Structure 1
């Protein structure tokens, strides 16, 4: 595929499902992904409902495609757009498609275009059905484009209405900077950081962004009031640490993100944790949890696990481990501070680190015994 800036994009617009007022912002958004070499809009141009589109078509050089409504109540625009999309696909003139609509009827079309190796961008309203969103590589809500346009307009007004010397400016209301993230999105961010992190826990922001979009095509920092994903991570100082590093190849800085983990459970200090660990080690064997095999039967350590110095904790033994992402102590021969990543619906991950993995002898297709000493301390040994 061509370089992202040079990608040729076929932009196909369903006039029945988008307002003419949003076209400029939509075009600006498409330009971020490539060059819209084909721009077509589909509708019944004899209908008064699309009358306002006509001036915008001339301004932005968009080709109108006439499609009569043969039957009242039926949307014949969809079939015309789909047929044209397939013709363009087989002509192999473009690298990707942008479908501007909130209609779920284009779900199969988007899936078919992706099957052919084409980039598919969807642009529509928040009411867009989830299947269509999931069928796109990237989905953008027009509402966030409206917000961006409004911000530009307000900035322009502020510039044009500079108060004269000696006069006092009227204060303007400050826009809300962010929308609180729900638990699902926060978990998505944390999981993605873990999945792309190196041994020290740092993950490159570019890799984080790419993986998030693969998992959730409609994710966009602008949905939560931030222009860039780096700003979103920086705003969550309780959850993430952001490191700005110099880039030798350009003036732009490189951003790295790491999950912030706590060593303490609520109302627990490091001193009480150490005391509890010592007490657990000194306690009779019948007071300590039985040893459990990890990975559980039917699972195994993979080459990827060895490379990442990790052990995956599957469903049947999840109850043995904490109910949130945090740091825990692992005792092999020596005691190590490790990271436990809570993944809710997926396998949890015990990130051992290089030194602990080496002492444990972490290897493919091996199994280990884990014993819970207390809420923050576990003993690991190789199964015989």
Structure 2
């Protein structure tokens, strides 16, 4: 997400923000506009609803965020006048050619066609709603943000939950969630590694692929602030490797310590029972096992790993076989 938001904000994209007050709680006001700052600037800020019924969006909140309220009475039972007003205003704004993007703040799937129509006009459509939002709407947007999950993550990071906020999070946890699953994320990561011939893939490229594939992808949906941490914690079959301040993702080796010990003994025996340079042994092992990482066995260096083996002896930079060589498989 960082790459996308950085490029958008550099272009100073102008947005029209249209909020469905009948469908979105005022408790998300701060989250809505904090997230918007990452994508660009707002030329229009409008909120639609029947203010005679009361919806939680107080005058104080509207003034604080400079949101213009649009009164919409329910003229006919069973018809959503707010939906119609938002659609009409969206099309009016579109044809004025003053914005490059729209932010539709709603969890109502009735706005799916509007999102699709705006994208047909080359508008960037940023959707915001709760995690119960139907997939049809989330996928119709260029990017969709689950407000309840982002708000929860932000509050955890700030470590300043009030009793009211805690009640809000408890209610959120019981709601239906239509969020891209971690299993789906993992499948995309594995597919990209396979496309790369089974070799490691840099994390930035991985993040771009996930954002392209899933419009609602955001590591905060799963309680994390970094993609690297999420992969490390949620995907035990994947391994994060850091090379020159750059992170890479690869499949974790299924090689056991016993199998590796047998191969080391075979290499030493083939070399006459001794290898005079640890580095050469390390190179040979990595040629055979592309994903080898001694950290998976609890060691940071090959020398420490070798000293833990009962079948080899390490003296300075030399490695030799002890009397008992493990039986080869």
Deviation track 1:47-98 (CA, whole Å, cap 9, x = no partner) reads 2322543211100001112222111332111111111112222222222111
Q: How does 1:324-343 map to 2 (within 5 A)?
A: none
2:30 is matched with 24
Instruction: Report SS of the residue matched to 1:218.
Output: coil
Q: For the aligned residues, what is the CA RMSD?
A: 3.3
Q: In the aligned structure 1, how far is the partner of 2:60 from the partner of 2:117?
A: 33
Matches within 5 A, 1:219-258: 219-236=217-234, 238-246=236-244, 253-258=245-250
| In structure 1, distance between residues paired with 2:127 and 2:228 | 23
Aligned-residue offset at 1:150 = 2.8
What CA deviation, in whole Å up to 9, does each residue of 1:100-150 have, x standing for no partner? Answer: 000011101111112222211111112211111111111111111331343
Cα displacement (A) at 1:214: 2.1
State whether residues 19 and 105 of structure 2, in contact with CA within 8 Å, keep that contact through their aligned partners in structure 1. Answer: yes
Q: Which residue of 2 aligns with 1:331?
A: none
Q: Tell me if the contact between 1:192 and 1:212 (Cα under 8 Å) persists in the aligned partners.
A: no
68, 81, 93: which one aligns with 1:63: 68
Q: Whole-Å Cα distance in 1 between the matches of residues 223 and 23 of structure 2?
A: 25
Query: Secondary structure of 2:74's partner?
Result: coil
Q: What residue is the counterpart of 1:184 in the other structure? A: 184
The 3 A distance-change label for structure 1 pair 69 and 33 is same
Distance in 2 separating the partners of 1:337 and 1:51: 60
Higher deviation after alignment, 182-191 or 111-120: 182-191
Cα distance, 1:153 vs structure 2: 5.2
Query: In 2, Cα distance between the equivalents of 1:156 and 1:71?
Result: 41
Cα distance in 2 for partners of 1:216, 1:119 equals 15
Q: Deviations over 1:235-286 (max 9, x none)?
A: 257322223355xxxxxx543222224358xxx958999xxxxxxxxxxxxx
Report which stretch shifted further, 138-147 or 94-103. 138-147
Larger RCO of the pair (alpha carbons < 8 Å, separation 6+)? 2
Whole-angstrom distance in 1 between the partners of 2:63 and 2:212:
36
Higher strand share: 1
Aligned partners of 1:137 and 1:213 also within 8 Å: no
55, 58, 61: which one aligns with 1:53? 58
Contact 1:69 1:75 in 2 (8 A): yes
CA contact (8 A) 1:121 1:136 kept: yes
More displaced 10-residue stretch of structure 1: 31-40 or 58-67? 31-40
Partner of 1:323 in structure 2? none
With structure 2 as the length reference, what TM-score do the two structures score?
0.65
Partner of 2:296: none
The reply on whether 1:89 has 2:81 as its aligned counterpart is no
CA spacing shift, 1:122–1:52, aligned 2, 3 Å: closer
SS in 1 for 2:30: helix
Matches within 5 A, 1:1-384: 3-5=7-9, 6-45=12-51, 47-50=52-55, 52-151=57-156, 154-155=159-160, 182-195=182-195, 197=196, 201-236=199-234, 238-246=236-244, 253-262=245-254
Q: Using the TM superposition, give the Cα deviation of residue 32 of structure 1 relative to its aligned residue in structure 2, in angstroms.
A: 1.3
Compare the two structures and name the one with the higher helix fraction. 2
The corresponding residue for 1:282 is none
Give structure 1 stretches of 5+ with no counterpart.
Answer: 158-180, 247-252, 274-335, 340-384
- Give the Cα separation in 2 of the matches to 1:8 and 1:337: 51
Measured after TM superposition, the shift of residue 151 of structure 1 is 2.1
Q: Could you tell me how far apart the structure 2 residues matched to 1:226 and 1:212 are?
A: 15
Please give the secondary structure, in 1, of the residue aligned with 2:92.
helix
Residues 39 and 61, structure 1, Cα contact 8 Å, conserved in 2:
yes
What secondary structure is seen at the aligned counterpart in 2 of 1:48?
coil
Separation in 1 of the partners of 2:142 and 2:45? 20
